[in-house]
Every structure is written in structure tokens, then in C-alpha cells.
Structure 1
Amino acid sequence: MAEIVAVAGVPHTPAFPSLARGDTAASATVARRYAAVDEVVARADADVLVVLTCDHINTFTPDLWPTFAIATGDSVLGPNDDVPGVSPTSYALAGDAGAALHRGLVARDFDPVALRSHSVDHSVVVPLHFLNQRRLPVVPVYLNGMVAPRPSAERCRRLGRVLRDIVENLPDRRVAVVASGSFSLEVGGPRMLPDRLYGVPRPAWAHTVASLLYRGDLDGLVAATTERRIEEAGTVAGEILPWIAAAEMAADLPIALMDHRAQEGHAFAAWGPA
């Protein structure tokens, strides 16, 4: 039987890998925050890493836009967009695990696309840059948080529950899960900050999300995560949906870290061994 040994959640800001290598106070802060999450994941000694994320119209297009998708191939190239300081890399996939997740979800009335050949953007590459120093095989799992109509928060929670059941019935594996994204974030819209490429329209919502996750109140988080709340929180605030699925997958794990700071639209979190 397989086991989920750690669950993490991090932002995937494309500038963070380059920033973390700098010599400023901001650089050190970013590096420390990812390192704190990585410490929990590394301590769990996983052998497969499942990444729950949303594409940014780089892997998919509006003409072919799945609600859910799972990588089932052997390798994937990324990034397919601009991530300063990260060269194009081929990442090994756990294709057998991806195929098992795909089959199991279809059997449980989900209909994910099986991706046998694709490339990944910063939403996968940035978490792997910081949290996969051991180069574990990866299974990217995509939830549509970008293009309406999105799946509901409750459906994403059910997805996490089904994924947990399927994982636990895999042959002997130690699985770590990473949710990738932010809670309140405006990119390419009118609510971006002056002279910045982003904005945080609803920092209070991000604080609420982090607080509910820390308390383990997933019922409250799912009830509060309405389509209207997502729209108010920014153009890419649907990235909360992978976090909801991941939090459900962490149901049997204690929370080890929740690092959210005032006015931020994201958090760094980990569930697993203390």
C-alpha cells in the first residue's frame, strides 16, 4: 500500500528562483520560506511528487481547455514560458502512477484528460526548483482555475478525496503532494499595482484562507470559496482550487508550517512530520 507522507503549498511567482539567488534581504527571505517547506517534504522521504496546479494558457489553449488533466507520459520539458534563471529542463514523470490516477478518477466519475506528451510552465517548474532537489519523478495534475466555468471548490475537494483514496491503493509508494499557486492575485488586469506586473486585490481573503487552512477548517474554506469570491480576488485567484484539493489529501497529516504575511496574496505551508 502507498502512503501520502507530506503535503505542501507554495506560490509559483516566476521571479522567485532568480530572486532567491540574490544577496538582498528580500532574496534571503524568499529562499528561507521555500527552504522551510522543503525541509518538511525532504524529511518525509517521498519517492513520488504529485503537483496540483493550474496552467496559465501556456500548456493548454482556450480552444482545448480541460477542467482536469493528468500527466501520464515518461518525461516533460519546462518551462515553456519565461522563468528567469531556470534553463529548459527535462523532468522525469512517474507515468505509471499518473496512469493509475487517471484510471481511478475515471472509475470514480471524474473525466480528466490523459497527457501523454506536453510541456509545463512556471506553475510546475517553480515548485520543482525549490522542492525537488532529489529529482523525484513527478505527476503534474491540472485543475482549471483560470477560465470560467471553473470546477466548484466542493468538486475540487472531492477530487482531492478521490486522489487520496487512489494513491493509498497504489503499490508501495511514498507520495508527497504540492499545491502550486496563490489565493489573491491579479495578473494582466486593471487591479495590478503601479509599476508592478501583479496586484493583490483581496489580501484579507488571503489571510482568511491561510487561517482556515491552519485551523483545518476545510468545510469553512470550501463554503467561502465561491465563484464570486474568486473573481473578486484576482484574475488568477482560482489557484486556490489546487490548494483545496491538496488540503483534502492532507486530511491524515498534522500541519507543520503555515507562513502567511500581511498584505500577501499567497502562503507557504506544509503538512507532515514535525
Structure 2
Amino acid sequence: MTEIVLGVGASHSTLMNTHWDQTFHKDRAERFRDALAEARDRLAAARPDTVVLVGSNHFRGFWLDLIPSFTLGVGECVASGESGTPKGPQRVDVPLARHLAGSLVEDHGFDIAFSARLQIDHGQSHAIQYLLDGLDVELVPLVVNVFAPPLPTLERCERLGRAIRETVLSFPEDRRVAVIGSGGLSHRLPWPDWRAPHGDDEEFMVDAWLNGRENWQDYDARRREIIRAAEAALTPEFDEEFLSLVERGETRRLTGLTAGELEKRAGNGAQEIRTWLLMAAALGHVPGQRLAYEQLPEWLTGMAVAVLDPAHPASPASPEGQS
């Protein structure tokens, strides 16, 4: 019998690795780091065999020569290892991954892409580094396109999460499965719409995204300079609203937002909440527990951690004051 035993949503930022000594709000950063450790302990206590790891792509594993909306790793998986995140081969639960790929197509009508040699970046390896540290688990990696428009709709992501739930629970072998959504919350990256770059920096970024498949490291130094020069643009009001929905098990209420509306409200980086939404749907939208929310402009991001435990659902947060 296969069970889904825990869900975790967690923000990521490589600046946590590369610029800790330049982090001004150390108290906030340490609270976020402690929340990651608590979530890791909750995962350890849940004893998963396999983690469905839902993350975004930052143009180190996918390039503009081919950008599927959803890509499932069904064989080899290699982490790119940028900015101090884990590098090299990752263990994949191939039987469960291939069961998912087949059933999502045949039973649920999702023409999901798959890769037998998937390269992931910090959109997932940050979670491997902090949430899965020391845990003896295999992965089913799922990469969601959140940065190369047109993007999959929020409604489509939620439906995929529900389909993954049904497919995992139908797996004929015994598995204890956890689901992690890695990304968000509000932030704005100095990344262009690839279809209409303006100025040297934006044209450089699009060139890196299009031509970096064989030499992405050659672009990284200037990419980092462009990102570090960006002004932080956090939207704590949106983050609080989103986390309240997580706590109440109501993240599906956001599925009516378009990508443009979401970017206007919380920045282009907020498109990563698709990973949380998908995770929450895979957990049956059980009410979650917020472990941390910190505004960290040094990391350009509203940083949060939450846990969804189907065995011990959190008491739904009060909707008072929420829009």
C-alpha cells in the first residue's frame, strides 16, 4: 500500500549559500534556516521512502531550445551544483516515476514530458541540501516551467497535483511518499520576457538561456552580477495571504489568477508558487502549519516554510482579514 505521508513547501535562494556573511537581517535568516531544519526533522519522522520533488527551472537544466510545461524525471537525474548546492547524480525511484509518467498520460490526460537523463538546478537541489540532508530517500523529480512564458496556468498545476495524488496512491507497490514544493514566495528577478528583451543585460540573459546548454557555467558570473545588482521587491501582503490559504487548505482559491495578474501582485519570482500549489493538491489540500515567514531583501525573496501533515492536520487559520 502506498501512502502520502507529508508535504513541505519551502522557499529557496542560492544567496543563502553564497552571501550568508553579507546578510544583514541575520535574525530573520537564522529563523528561516531553523524552520528548514524543523521541516527536515518532520520529514525524517514521517519516514518516507520516496520524495516527489517539485521545483522550478532557472535555465541551468533547461534552455529555450526546449521548454516543456512539466517534466518528470524517470531515469538518471543529475544536479548542476551551482552556488554551493549539491552536485552530481541523485537517486531516482524509477518504478514510481515511470508509473506516474504512464498513468498521468493514459488515465488523466496530462501530456507530461519525461526525461531519462534529467538535469536539475537549485530549484530542487536547494531542497535536497536542506530538507533531505542525511535522509535515505529516493526522488521523483518534477520540473515546472515558471520563468519562460507562456507558463502553465495555476489551475492546470492544481489539477496536476490532484492527478499525481491519485496516481501515487494507485501504485501497486509499498511506498511512503512525501511531496516537496520548492520556490517562492514574492520576489522579482531582473529577468526579461525572453520574447522581448530590452538592453544589454536582458539580451545577455536571453542568449544564456538559449545557448547555454553545453557551457552554462560560462554565463554564470555575469548572471550573478545582474541578480546581485537587482533591487529587492517583496510583497509581504501577498505572502501573508498565500500562507493563510496554505494554513486553511485553500490554495486552490488562487487558481483564477493569470500569470500576468500574479506577477503584478507579487513579482515574476512569485510564479514559483505553482510548486506549492501542486504540492498542496497532492496532499489533498489538508490544512498546513506555517513554520516561518521572513522578509529577506538581501536574498531578494519572501522566505517561508510550511508543513502539511495528513495524519495531524493543522487547525485551519481564521479567514478574518483575508481577501
> Is the structural similarity TM-score above 0.5?
yes
Deviation at 1:15, TM superposition (A): 2.6
Deviation at 1:138, TM superposition (A): 0.7
1:1-274 matches, within 5 Å, as: 1-17=1-17, 25=27, 28-73=30-75, 75-80=76-81, 82-84=82-84, 86=85, 88-107=87-106, 108-132=108-132, 133-170=134-171, 171-189=173-191, 197=230, 199-223=232-256, 225-232=257-264, 233-251=266-284, 253-261=286-294, 265-272=302-309, 273=311
How many Å separate the matches in 2 of 1:117 and 1:189? Answer: 27
Q: Measured at CA, do residues 12 and 222 of structure 1 come closer, stay the same or move farther in structure 2, by a change above 3 Å?
A: same
Q: Report the more deviating stretch, 199-208 or 126-135.
A: 199-208
Q: Deviations over 1:111-139 (max 9, x none)?
A: 11111012211111110111112141111
Q: Measured at CA, do residues 261 and 147 of structure 1 come closer, stay the same or move farther in structure 2, by a change above 3 Å?
A: same
Count of residues paired in the alignment: 268
Deviation at 1:172, TM superposition (A): 0.9
Contact 1:58 1:121 in 2 (8 A): yes
Structure 2: unaligned runs, 5 residues or longer: 193-225, 313-323
Partner SS for 1:51 = strand
Runs of 4+ in 1 over 3 A off after TM superposition: 17-28, 193-198, 261-264
Aligned residue identity for 1:271: L
How many Å separate the matches in 2 of 1:175 and 1:257? Answer: 21
TM-score, reference length from structure 2: 0.75
Aligned residue identity for 1:119: Q
Deviation at 1:5, TM superposition (A): 0.1
Contact 2:11 2:185 in 1 (8 A): no
Contact 1:185 1:198 in 2 (8 A): no
Partner SS for 1:83 = helix
Deviation at 1:57, TM superposition (A): 1.4
How many Å separate the matches in 2 of 1:160 and 1:182? Answer: 17
Aligned residue identity for 1:102: A
How many Å separate the matches in 1 of 2:254 and 2:303? Answer: 15
Aligned residue identity for 1:178: I
Contact 1:34 1:131 in 2 (8 A): yes
Q: Deviations over 1:220-251 (max 9, x none)?
A: 2323x322222222232210111111111122
Q: Percent identity over the alignment?
A: 26
How many Å separate the matches in 2 of 1:235 and 1:11? Answer: 14
Partner SS for 1:69 = strand
Aligned residue identity for 2:51: L
How many Å separate the matches in 2 of 1:11 and 1:162? Answer: 24
How many Å separate the matches in 2 of 1:262 and 1:185? Answer: 10
Aligned residue identity for 1:152: T
Q: Deviations over 1:150-175 (max 9, x none)?
A: 11111111100000000001121000
Q: Deviations over 1:175-222 (max 9, x none)?
A: 0000010021112259xx996556234332122111111111233232
Q: Deviations over 1:5-58 (max 9, x none)?
A: 000011121132466799964553333120121122111110001111111111
Q: Measured at CA, do residues 270 and 199 of structure 1 come closer, stay the same or move farther in structure 2, by a change above 3 Å?
A: same
Contact 2:31 2:292 in 1 (8 A): no
Aligned residue identity for 1:206: D
Contact 1:37 1:257 in 2 (8 A): no
How many Å separate the matches in 1 of 2:261 and 2:143? Answer: 21
Deviation at 1:252, TM superposition (A): 6.4
CA RMSD of aligned residues (A): 2.7
Contact 1:214 1:258 in 2 (8 A): no
